[in-house]
Structure formats: C-alpha cells, structure tokens
Amino acid sequence: MFSQTRPFSRTALFDLAAYVTIGAVAAVGILDIPYLLYRWTAMLMLILIGVLISRTITSGEGLDRGQIQFSLALQTLLVGGLLAFTPGSSVFVILFYVLSAQAMLTNSFKVGLLWLGIFSLITAVNFFYAEGWPGGLGDLLPVLAGYFFFGVVANSLYRAAQAQRASELLLHELNLANQQLRENARQVERLAVVEERNRMAREMHDTVGHRLTVAAVQLEGAQRLIPDNPERAAKMVGTVREQVREALNELRQTVARLRAPLESDLELLPSIRHLADGFAEATGLDVHLSLPDAIPAVSGPIHKALYRTTQEALTNIQRHAQANQAWLQLVLDDDGLVLTISDDGHGYPQTEQPGGFGLIGLRERAGLLGGELTLGARPEGGAQLTLSLPLQTEADHA
C-alpha cells in the first residue's frame, strides 16, 4: 500500500523526456489555437505542467500523499483546459501519456490505475464531443492502450528500481554482518591465545615454581646445617637435586607443548603422531600408537577437537596417572571417528565424578560437534578416555 511519505528516485531522464514531450506538444498544439490570448494562456499552462512534473518526480521525497494527489489533479485540470481550447485535437492528449507514467511512478498500482481511468474518461469526452460515437471510439481505443502501456512500464521500472535499492541495502547489511563476524572470530582467536597463555602460566607456577620454591627452602636449611650436621645437610641437598630434576622434566614438557604444531600446520594424523612422539621424548613414557593409514581431510573444528583432546589427555596422564605406558588409538568407522587414549596408571577415584583436568571444556567442544567424550576405567587397569565424533570433511564444513 501507499505509505505516508513515498520514496522517489531522482529520474533526470524522465524529466528530460517529459520536457521534450511538452515542448513538442507546445510547438504543434499552440498553432491549432485560434486566438492569441488563448495561445499565451496555453503556453503558461504548459510551463506550469512542466514545473509540477519536476516538483512531483525529482523533489517528491518531501511531499506527502495528499500533496502528490493534488499535484496530479492540478496537472489533469490543466491538460483538460488545453483540450477545451482545441476540441477533438489529439496533440494535447499526448500529455496524458506523461501523466500516466507519472501517476504510476508516484502511487501504488491500484491508485495509479484509478488515475489512468480519470485520464481515459477526459479523453473520451474530448473525442466523443468533437467526433461523435463511431469516430471518437476509433481514436479513443489506441490512446487508452497507450496510457495503460506507459503506466505499466513506468510502474515496472519503479518496482525494479525499488528492488535494486532493497538488494543494495541487504548487500550492505550482509557486508556489515560479515565484517562483524570476522571481527568476532579474530576476538575469539585472541581470547583463545590469552587463555592458553594463562593456562601455561598457571601450570608452570603450580609445577616448576612449586618445586623450585621447595628446593630453595631446603638449600637454605642445608646451608645452616653444614657446620653442625653435614650428613643431614647432604641428605637435604640430595632431595633438592631430585626436586630440580623433576622441575627440569616438567619444564621440558611445557616447552614440548609450546612447540607442538598448530592444527593448521599439519594434517590430522601427522599432527597427532608428532604430538605423541614429542610427549614420549619429553616424559620418557612409552606411547603406543594405533592410527589408520589415511583418513579424509576433516573439517577444522573436528581436527582441533581431536588434537586438543589428545594434548590434554597426554598431559593428564603425565601429571596425575603415575603411569609407565600410554596407548593412543584412532579408528575410522561408519559412525565417524573414535579416539581412545588410555594408560596403566592408578586410574581415577570411582567415587568422584570425572570432570576435572580440563575435561569439562573437552566435553563442551565434543557436544557442539555432535559427539561425546567419556572417561572410565581401562579394563587392564588405569584410565581410559574416549572421544567419538561424527565425520565432517572439509567439503561438508564449507
């Protein structure tokens, strides 16, 4: 429906066509007017029609519905007056072609058709008054068809222009949304880096920092005991040596994790193999790998979930399991990928809900991907972590 303030486009081409038409009509139609006074009056009426067309089309953004209808009504009266000067003439009827296009450009389709009906009625009166019924009807029908044609074409062009503006606005909004998504993704990456740095800082503080603090205190005590009790001092130095050795071992593990390949640097199988080899070298634990020869190129989120789960599980085995061996198996079946990581350590207490050691975050990641992460007892002793994920390839993700 028609809105209170209807949007317009500045149609300079329409103005030019309207002015050319009015000029041509003036050049031919004025000569058909018999009296000089009527000719000057007709000229002023044509100029006023041109002014109203310009205001309605190119300055219509500031006009409301009533002003637009008043402008069309005034132009219609002026054209009717011109027809009254030359009854039966078809020259001034041409102006209704311009008004037909204008009415359809500035109104809804139904209101535009109503104006076409008014133009048709005035034209019919003009022809029938001058030529009678048979002759007037023969001249009228082609003119009415012209009104309808020009009006429908103008309305179609207007709708096409409106659709183009709507598409451009939608494209602009989509570009803004895409830009915001990219900025959010960068922010998430920055937060992930900060979170990983904080986690590594806490881990170094809780492990290496704690052992070095204990070693420093024991060295101070041993230094005081050297004169009076050298044997006890030597024993304390031995304890410090063990603490420093453990701290050095934990520092190597941290460095190994920092040097672990990024998910985007390697494919899934090489990255897991590289991670397990680095862990075994840093900790001295035997890591038994069972990986398929090849798997499809998985999507980025699946790749990251498998890699991070492997990384976290191996870290927990070293820190908490007191194990000598670890087993890592990746299986590809019809349901997707199944990652199993187990050890021969003391397992986890059966009375506690297994939710620590970063497992909450891993479970959330698995759930978002439609998978499941479970932690339970290994049948042969120790703990066993299993991650099941549906297979999503890079093509599926795209």
Other CB atoms within 10 Å distance of the CB of residue 233: 19
Distance of alpha carbon 245 from the chain centroid: 52
All structural domains of the chain, each given as residue ranges with its CATH number in brackets, are: 1-259 (no CATH), 273-398 (3.30.565.10)
How far is the C-alpha of 214 from the C-alpha of 219, rounded, in Å? 9
Cross-strand partners of 172: none
Nearby residues of 146 by Cβ (< 8 Å), 6 or more positions away: 97, 100
- Burial letters for 178-204: b for 16+ Cβ neighbours within 10 Å, e otherwise? eeeeeeeeeeeeeeeeeeeeeeeeebe
Lowest mean pLDDT among 10-14, 71-75, 87-91, 299-303: 10-14
Give residue 34's pLDDT band: very low, low, confident or very high (50, 70, 90): confident
Read off the pLDDT of residues 340-381 as tens digits, 9 standing for 90 and up: 999 998 876 554 444 454 678 888 889 999 999 999 999 888
Cα distance between residue 378 and residue 385, in whole Å: 9
Structure token pair of residue 191: 């937060």
Model pLDDT, residue 351:
42
Tokens 């007709």, located at residue: 42
Q: Please return the burial class of 360, using the count of CB atoms within 10 Å of its CB with bins 0-12, 13-18 and 19+.
A: exposed
Containing 327, the helix (H) or strand (E) segment is strand 325-333
Which tokens in the block code for residue 247? 């701290």
Which ranges constitute the DSSP H helices of 31-64? 36-58
Label residue 8 by pLDDT band (50, 70, 90): very low
pTM: predicted TM-score of the whole model, two decimal places: 0.39
More confident residue, 352 or 296: 296
Lowest average pLDDT, out of 64-68, 75-79, 301-305, 325-329, goes to 64-68
